[in-house]
Amino acid sequence: MNKTPGFIFDLDGVIVDTAKYHYLAWKKLADELGIEFTKEDNERFKGVSRKRCLEILLEMGGIEASKEQFNAWLLEKNEDYLAYIETMDETEILPDVPKVLQYLRTNNIPMALGSASKNARPILEKVNLLSYFDTIVDGNEVSKAKPNPEVFLKASEKLGTKPEHCVVFEDALAGIEAANSAGMTSIGIGDAEILSNAKFNFIDFTEIDDDFLNTLLDGVGSND
């Protein structure tokens, strides 16, 4: 492994805002089950695996389910979600994300996607960003949800970059904890109070300029 920095991006809430579609799909299921489910409740689901989200939802409603029923609800939620994202296009990309991706590509920085989503690849295809990423590690390849660092450590390994030379962009507290646990440089995208454990914080990518990226590249590349 070399000292070239590796950049790892979460998907939901970092590159595209699919949280609204997850919310609509979970809300639909919650309504069917007679469980009150708000946008505030949906915050607890960010960066969390689909299985764990359903467990939380059922706990909220005091509902027990057989394995067969549980899996049926998982499938139903995902099918509803897929129907919502079917119409996604480049307009769903969050502000200035392509600018940062293009800057890193121009500087030959390897990039990975590290997401709990099992639909990461089709979403990237729909918004026309798939070609930026050298590798994708998603919910189909990992068994341990964030804050376990498995997804980021696998991404680091695939990039051929040491964890301490990796930078992670995350919008969820569990993701920041996972990046920190992996020994990576964590960058919080969103509310700095919620993501206070991140090494750096930005509301969104419009606040990230070339000077910061250059400083980041120099600093991370020298970590040992």
User: What are the residue numbers of the active site?
Assistant: 10, 12
Contact 113, 130 (CB under 8 A): no
Say how far apart CA 166 and CA 155 lie, in whole Å.
Answer: 9
Contact 112, 7 (CB under 8 A): yes
Hey, what are 156's tokens?
């680091």
User: How many Cβ atoms from other residues are within 10 Å of residue 102's Cβ?
Assistant: 11
Q: How far is CA 122 from CA 61, 81, 88, 143, in A?
A: 32, 12, 10, 20
Contact 136, 145 (CB under 8 A): no
Give the residue ranges of DSSP H helices in 127-200: 150-159, 173-181
Say how far apart CA 110 and CA 153 lie, in whole Å.
Answer: 15
**Maximal C-alpha separation, the chain:** 54
195 in helix, strand or coil? coil
